[in-house]
């Protein structure tokens, strides 16, 4: 589904992993320039990029330089 949304809307996606969970999330940019993604949208958990050492981030649809300078 993320490939379709990337193709249709140009949205970028990452694969995030931590110690016990993983998922695919859309990358968002706030008006003040922070880059973030929903880790658990139901509970409202948001993580900011660049990721801390305990998380693994794989960029699926673009290079990290597009958002993180």
d(CA 4, CA 21): 24
What's the gap between Cα 13 and its chain centre? Answer: 5
d(CA 18, CA 7): 27
pLDDT tens-digit map of 2-44: 999 999 999 999 998 877 888 899 999 999 988 999 888 777 7
Asked if residue 7 lies in contact with residue 62, where contact means CB atoms within 8 angstroms, the answer is no
Number of domains in the chain: 1
- Identify the domain containing residue 27 by its residue range: 2-66
Query: What's the pTM value of the predicted model, to 2 decimals?
Result: 0.84
Question: Tokens at residue 51, please?
Answer: 């990721």
Question: Tokens at residue 19, please?
Answer: 């110690």
Q: What are phi and psi of 62, to 5 degrees?
A: -160, 175
């Amino acid at each position: 589904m993320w490939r379709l949304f990337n193709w249709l809307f140009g949205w970028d996606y990452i694969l995030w992993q931590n110690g016990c969970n993983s998922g695919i999330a859309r990358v968002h940019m706030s008006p003040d320039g922070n880059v973030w993604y929903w880790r658990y949208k139901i509970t409202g958990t948001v993580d900011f990029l660049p990721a801390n050492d305990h998380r693994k981030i794989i960029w699926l649809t673009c290079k990290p330089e597009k958002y993180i300078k």
